[in-house]
Amino acid sequence: MSLRLYIPKDAAARAVGADELAAALQMASEDCGSECQIIRTGSRGLLWLETLLEVETIKGRFGYGPVTTEDIPSLIAAGLFNGAKHPLDHRTAVGLVAEHPLFKAQTRQSFARCGLIDPLDGDGFVAQGGLRGIKAAVKMDGEQIVKQVTDSGLRGRGGAGFPTGIKWQTVRNAESSQKYIVCNADEGDSGTFADRILIEGDPLTLIEGMVIAGLAVGASKGYIYIRSEYPDGYATLLSAVLVAHRLKLLGANVMGSGKGFELEIRLGAGAYICGEETSLLESLEGRRGIIRYKPPLPAIKGLFGQPTVINNVLSFAAVPGILADGAESYSRLGVGRSKGTLAVQLGGNIKRGGLFELPFGVTLRTILNDFGGGSASGRPIRAVQVGGPLGAYFPESLFDLPLDYEEFAKHQGMVGHGGIVVFDDSVDLARQARFAMEFCAIESCGKCTPCRIGSTRGVEVLDRIIAGTDRDKNLVLLNDLCTTMQDGSLCALGGLTPLPVRSALKHFAEDFA
């Protein structure tokens, strides 16, 4: 048997030289006269180990990371190409990847296949449990599929946490000859990358979830809207559509059900606001990404005026598992009304950043310390921002909060899409508050005044506070402005920008002095 190596082709690995590593290893193996097969996979999410090189053995896949081309001579010297026993005596050895404590501690459901297989290998996908969900779904009627999703307790993973089953039921009940399934893959929130990892690592699961949604509500056409900042994800999706056709997951007769489903991949054009669902629909229709008034809800009048299911990547990706293993298998995970797993994305100033799929309820402290291993700089962690650029900044005193939609809301924060950005004690929260306003000003679609003008005024007021000009007066003004934006904006961009600003003021008042 030839030596089988696995190297991710995920953008995170490629950004630190995975392609160069794969090419150099291939060449080195030929030079050594060793037969070696290199399989490019998605990412395991253990991003501090990228590029993670895995070697297949009878015991399982042994990992080495982070590996660069410079490590190749020493790996060869340790016996990589001449059958030495793993783990090799090498400084990058991490043991069996499946047994890695930070991998084993996870509950990999939506990401079960991520990092294991070539994301475009249809047979590998099926061998690892792919298509079980759709096969269960084609035996049910739409009502039964919706009931499974409702009973699972799955809530929208895009950030708002709306119950997915209720959304689907609304679309199912709507009368129309053409309904649509739209996947929001405009993962613009900084600090989040779970959608990207899933799309690049297991795109067929996403497609499977969307087709199940189509069967559930009676829609025959879907769109995935992916941001242009994810060129690798876009390319993967284009190829995945072809593979899905070969698997009969897409086409005129999905899995022999007699029902058809076609999928189109659309590329965004660098507008953060298009992650807001109604802006995204406008953009799909070929217009400026200006948000729409709600009601009507997209479920009633969405894409091209038709009833539309619009969900996040991870919401769709959770569905095949729910259908395959039953609603109960999902709902028994998690806490309170936050069911199932959350893809925690740990980034910023952290020693071990990456994606960890965990049941809801785990605390920030566990994630930061046990998984993250403290800050990358070695300095104390002073603040974390959870839930993207519109999420609150939390201080150390709140690190015992469990990840739970309701618990976070009680502390004027949000779980959002599960991104956690870590800052050490060199952070200046007044600057971060200013950035929140600045970002809102750059990305506002301009439809409503509180967001369009309020954000620019917010930057100005914060500049005065930072400069120490009429500080008390300007703090009153800032608070007033935040209230106006929160209550008067049409969508979450203007409405939630006050969240990071106010949390910075509340928890880090000393930075505004």
Partner 1 sequence: MGKNLPTPQVLKGDTGWDAETAAPIIAEFAAIKGGLIPALHALQNRLGYIDDAAVPDLAKAFTLSRAEVHGVISFYHDFRREPPPKHSVKLCRAEACQSMGSEAMAADLIQRAEGQHECEVSAIYCLGLCAMAPSAMIDGKLVARLTPAKLDAHLAAAGIGFKARTV
- Binding-site ranges for partner 1 (CB under 8 A): 11-12, 14-16, 47-48, 50, 187-193, 196, 223, 228-232, 234-235, 238, 241, 245, 262-272, 283-290, 304, 345-350, 353-355, 376, 385, 389, 419, 421-424, 427, 432, 435, 439, 442-443
Nearer to partner 1, 169 or 503 (CB): 503
Q: CB of 475: closest distance to partner 1 in angstroms?
A: 23
Residues 354 and 46: beta-carbon distance below 8 Å: yes
Q: CB of 442: closest distance to partner 1 in angstroms?
A: 8
Distances (CA, A) of 497 to 337, 452, 492: 25, 12, 8
Residues 98 and 61: beta-carbon distance below 8 Å: yes
Nearer to partner 1, 131 or 274 (CB): 274
Nearer to partner 1, 278 or 345 (CB): 345
Residues 298 and 308: beta-carbon distance below 8 Å: yes
Q: CB of 41: closest distance to partner 1 in angstroms?
A: 18
- Strand-pair partners of 63: 54, 95
Residues 50 and 94: beta-carbon distance below 8 Å: no
Nearer to partner 1, 15 or 476 (CB): 15
Helix ranges restricted to H, 271-404: 277-284, 313-325, 327-331, 364-365
Nearer to partner 1, 190 or 257 (CB): 190
Nearest to 433 by CA among 472, 475, 380, 370: 475
Q: Tokens 């109960």 appear where?
A: 328
Nearer to partner 1, 60 or 374 (CB): 374
Contacts of 460 (CB under 8 A, 6+ apart): none
Residues 21 and 69: beta-carbon distance below 8 Å: yes
Q: CB of 194: closest distance to partner 1 in angstroms?
A: 9
Q: CB of 273: closest distance to partner 1 in angstroms?
A: 9
Which amino acid is located at 200 in the chain?
E
Nearer to partner 1, 129 or 251 (CB): 251
What letter does residue 366 receive in the DSSP assignment? I
SS3 72: helix
Q: CB of 309: closest distance to partner 1 in angstroms?
A: 17
Q: CB of 462: closest distance to partner 1 in angstroms?
A: 16
Length of the chain: 513
What letter does residue 402 receive in the DSSP assignment? B
Q: CB of 373: closest distance to partner 1 in angstroms?
A: 12
Nearer to partner 1, 86 or 447 (CB): 447
Nearest to 51 by CA among 12, 101, 3: 12
Residue 238, phi-psi category: left (phi > 0), alpha (psi -120 to 50), beta (remainder): alpha
